[in-house]
Structure 1
Amino acid sequence: MDRNQRTSLAIALRQRYQESRKAEKSSILDEFVAVTGFHRKYATRVLLDPAAEIVPARSVAYKKVYDEAVKETLIVLGKASDRICGKRLKAIIPVLLASLEGHNRLKLDAEVRERVLASVSVSHYVFM
């Protein structure tokens, strides 16, 4: 259902909703929520307030932070560290990466290695 259809439905139901009793309001509201997919409280506001603007739900498109090679490397590092929390994993990635490469457990291209190390912020503290 697009925005114009939801608006016309709200206008059509608004008068009937405002003039009806509580039991009737509940059934009208149930019908309106089922058709539009709105949250119940938002649907109530739309039907009660003539100045309420019907806003469509936004779909959020997240940009990818890591490409597939970096993601797979981070998964391997997480498993090698016995799945410690991200905060602690972030702190030991350079050490763990050097250790795994030194023991021939992990072989990375220079470009992927740089991107993995770039995922680690410089502003973290390591307490010994």
Structure 2
Amino acid sequence: AEVVEELPEGWDTVVGAGGRGLSGGQRQRLLLARALLADPPVLVLDEPAEALDPVAADALTRDLLEWPGGGTLLLVTHRLAALDAADEVVVLDRGRIVQRGRHGELLAAPGAYRDLWDAELLAA
């Protein structure tokens, strides 16, 4: 809410080509807030934290996974650090499901998820 209050026109701030005064992070947060307030039955978010630094991105992902909305959240992300709060993780490779389960289960088994996790740890 405080981020929105700081914007030139609050909730009505123009986003997109006309939103020239907004940073990428501000634009992304405003769009995300609008989507969450709409409380749709299904909310699909594709890399919602990509414009954020790693710490903020993980915090946002955790907050989204604990979202009290009444619908289903489908979160598409390459950042795995905060997925321990997800009900289910589905791993895709070239459009096919190669693994699915909870974060801990997927880390315990050899496969694509653990490989991605190891790569993320090395990059940190």
- TM (norm. structure 1) is 0.22
Structure with the bigger percentage of helix = 1
Q: Which has the higher contact order (CA 8 A, sep 6+)?
A: 1
Kindly name which structure, 1 or 2, has the bigger radius of gyration based on alpha carbons: 1
- Give the structure-2-normalised TM-score: 0.22
Which structure dedicates a bigger proportion of its chain to strand?
Answer: 2
